[in-house]
Amino acid sequence: MPELPEVEVSRQGISPYMMNEVIEQIVVRDSRLRWPIPDTIQTLKGQRIENIRRRAKYLLIDTQIGSAILHLGMSGSLRVIPIGTPAQKHDHVDIHLSNGQMLRLNDPRRFGCLLFSEEPLFHDLLAKLGPEPLTEEFTGQWLYERSRGKTSAVKTFVMDNRNVVGVGNIYANESLFRSGISPTREAGKVSKARYIELASMIKQVLAAAIEQGGTTLKDFAQVDGTPGYFAQTLFVYGRGGKPCFKCDRELKEIRLGQRSTVYCTQCQR
């Protein structure tokens, strides 16, 4: 599933081709995504794109009258290509632009979404989200205060979008390893000092992933089709049973919150 860095890389990739262009046509070949694409998406025809933002894993294509809310789901991808390029299997939506290019959404599993909202930040999907991890609002103090009395595992806690957005499975594994915190430790029993370290590592890991183009596993590639390279620097994710890069002990792999969790029992406490 594309996580925050992959979505941010997609935003950076499509923005130069779409900013200040007019949406001339929206072609919906298959509206059966996670939620049916509403007819109101056609309201954006004739509107100039004023901004392309990211909120958590959602892309917001802003116009004067409202925004398209776009989510890539588990396998979605975006391409900016010339209008008239023949559609391939799973190419569900084309957004035609005044510069002769179009934004194409491909989504084999159809778990993504394309919705319209006049006030996207107040939409039900976005209204209750926590802070962005790469902003000043996200701090170790924030995590510490939010975690008091919580008995859930700290990995589950930081993957909860109400506490901080966009820390998906890959980046939670990596951040906890680099912080020396066991993913199974109760969130309410992690000290303030360790949350300060964890918040710092989350910022570093996500920033590095964005800089390197995201993490290519099965489905994700950048807008131009090239893969991301952060997977080459992973310390624990996908390395269960292999030696820890720090202490050489075999990394343990468990299921936590129905997600694969890999950690070092020696280096993480």
Q: Catalytic site residues?
A: 2-3, 57, 259
Q: Which residues are CB-contacts of 248 (< 8 A; sequence separation ≥ 6)? A: none
Q: Which of helix, strand or coil describes residue 145?
A: helix
Decide: 188 and 151 in contact? Cβ < 8 Å.
yes
Decide: 95 and 30 in contact? Cβ < 8 Å.
no
Decide: 77 and 7 in contact? Cβ < 8 Å.
no
Q: Give one DSSP letter per residue of 49-97, joined into a string.
A: P-EEEEETTEEEEE-SS-EEEEE-TTT-EEEEEETTPPP-TTEEEEEEE
Q: What angle do CA 130, 135, 137 make, to 5 degrees?
A: 55
How many angstroms separate the CA atoms of 160 and 168, rounded? 9
Q: Which amino acid is at 34?
A: R
What residue numbers does the annotated binding site cover? 90, 109, 150
Q: Which of helix, strand or coil describes residue 103?
A: strand
What residue numbers does the annotated binding site for DNA cover? 90, 109, 150
